[in-house]
Amino acid sequence: MENIDFKKIVDNLFQAVIVADKKGQILYANDYFCELFTTNCNKLKEKNISDFISDNKIEIKNEIYETKTIDYDEYSVIICHPAQTQMEKIYSDFISTVSHELRTPLTSIRGFADTMLFSYDKLDESQIKKFLQIIKDQSNRLIKLIENLLSISRMQTQNEMLVYKAVNVKSQIEQALLIVKNQYKTHHFLFQCEDGIMPALVDENKFQQIMINVLDNAAKYSESNTTVEITAKNHDNNIKITVNDHGTGITKENLCKIFDKFARIENHLTSKTQGSGLGLYIVKNLVEKMNGSIKAESSTNPDDHGTSFIITLPAASYTNQCSKKLRGDR
């Protein structure tokens, strides 16, 4: 190794670098690696690279470093760099996902707008309507993503004011269904509302946002031509809303993750759909902020698969309204 020209270069890198022969015998380690490992560089020459590295990872001072190997004819250069923390990875994945989510509708909007501008006289009325509908749908997709991002920002700054009032549960769910049905035309939606259902004591806009996100999630992650079932009924002093889909279901180990920020459960349906992993996180925060609860139940059984979201919100009863005034909730 005395004649390797890059020895001085790797010694000055602010990265841990090891050089090994084809059998894995360590030939050289730069000073930065030896400082990190608090070891004598000369002693390393008696060891094999497998003594340190496993599955392309190496632990130095209780920190995990990932390794990248560059192979040459007679030796290999192994560069070690700090592994991303879980939050860094989640944040990096989120930025990538959001960038893709923004780029996709913007590309569609620009493409169909350009087509109409430059070929307007060659398009018939049905084509024009089709292109305008695509532009509208993609614009709505952008608006939804931006609204979700703004919701996250308000939650993190604790700067979200809620206006509580008695809200008609049936009409609000029907409005949310109109919005979601327009996007998922190949799905069926069955809504059953108990007669005499009490109003919910919630923020009307946030309740609408909750229902749109949950219904959108149910349709997005279930196959075409399946049915999303919604029920709403009185439950003690609360309103209980259940949204059930007939998707592939969620495993027990993943079920506890679905309300996490940026979380997306990988299966053949998620690979075909884009999502920021914010919808259910926002739903859970809003539901709990309005003194409600949400849980998910799921089955991956081939004969009875699907997922149910059960939302419980306070009814606009005399007792709940008095309790809210006493607590000073806004």
Taking only the tens place, the pLDDT of each residue in 231-277 is 999 998 999 999 999 888 888 878 878 887 666 655 544 445 555 56
In-domain check, residue 112: yes
Q: Return the pLDDT at 2.
A: 46
- Checking if the pLDDT of 45 tops 90, the result is no
pLDDT digits (tens, 9 = 90+) for 46-66: 788 887 777 777 776 666 777
One domain for residues 194 and 218: yes
pLDDT digits (tens, 9 = 90+) for 84-139: 655 566 566 666 656 666 776 788 888 889 988 888 888 888 989 989 988 887 88
In-domain check, residue 2: no
Label residue 203 left, alpha or beta by phi (over 0 means left) and psi (-120 to 50 means alpha).
beta
Rg (CA), the chain: 28
Q: Return the pLDDT at 271.
A: 44
One domain for residues 71 and 212: no
In-domain check, residue 35: yes
pLDDT digits (tens, 9 = 90+) for 135-156: 887 887 788 777 777 776 666 5
Identify the band that residue 190 occupies on the pLDDT scale cut at 50, 70 and 90: very high
The domain boundary, picked from 157, 179, 196, lies at: 157
One domain for residues 318 and 201: yes
Handedness of CA 5, 8, 12, 17 (dihedral sign): positive
In-domain check, residue 1: no
- What is the residue range of 309's domain? 164-327
Per the structure, how many domains does the chain have?
3
At 99, the amino acid letter reads S
Q: pTM (2 decimals)?
A: 0.57
H-helix or E-strand spanning residue 82: strand 75-82
Query: Who contacts 218 (Cβ-Cβ below 8 Å, separation ≥6)?
Result: 228, 243, 244, 245, 247, 307, 309
